[in-house]
């Protein structure tokens, strides 16, 4: 199953607020650096690392949007409903039927296939994003929901 794809979708809505928090943290750390006892080099490295995390999160959001835009409308609508709470304007949309849940499973598998065709694999996700605590926590939550144990 595509756990990293589910994690990407689950994190999507929160990325902007996390980025805003990181931005505020960077500003506070830069202003308070005058009073700190760390070297200028250590402070600069910390600010650069926070900036890189911010850029990585923005990239993750863009990749998620690109992958969703390459999907068929039906699959995209199902994923947007489940993960982004966007209610579709379709007449025969029934989110309580058994067929809906089967379609959700197929949609997430198709999302995974689109990510892989774009070159974004599970290894890429682990190497680049599991170092971010927010993403790592969301990934662990996804695994827990699926009944798997986190192994890393």
Closest to 83 (Cα-Cα) out of 99, 61, 53 = 61
Per residue in 106-130, pLDDT tens? Answer: 999 999 999 999 999 999 999 999 9
- CA angle, 16 then 20 then 24, to 5°: 170
| Rounded Cα–Cα distance for residues 74 and 99 (Å) | 13
Q: Which residue has the higher pLDDT, 39 or 20?
A: 20
DSSP 25: H
The dihedral built from the CA positions of residue 115, 80, 21 and 146, taken in this order, carries a sign that is negative
pLDDT at 100: 76
Residue 6 · residue 142 · CB < 8 Å: yes
Mean pLDDT of 88-116: 81
The pTM (predicted TM-score) of the whole model is 0.85
Question: Token match 């999507």: residue?
Answer: 12
Residue 3 · residue 127 · CB < 8 Å: no
């Amino acid at each position: 199953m595509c756990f990293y794809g589910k994690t990407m979708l689950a994190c999507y809505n929160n990325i902007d607020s996390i980025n805003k928090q990181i931005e505020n943290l960077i500003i506070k750390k830069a202003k308070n650096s005058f009073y700190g006892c760390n070297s200028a080099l250590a402070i600069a490295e910390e600010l650069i690392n926070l900036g890189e995390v911010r850029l990585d999160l923005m990239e993750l959001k863009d990749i998620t949007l690109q992958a969703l835009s390459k999907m068929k409308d039906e699959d995209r609508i199902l994923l947007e409903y489940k993960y982004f709470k966007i209610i579709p304007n379709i007449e025969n949309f029934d989110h309580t039927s058994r067929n809906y849940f089967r379609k959700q499973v197929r949609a997430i598998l198709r999302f995974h296939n689109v990510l892989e065709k774009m070159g974004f694999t599970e290894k890429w996700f682990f190497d680049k994003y599991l170092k971010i605590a927010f993403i790592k926590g969301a990934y662990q939550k996804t695994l827990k929901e699926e009944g798997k144990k986190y192994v890393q």
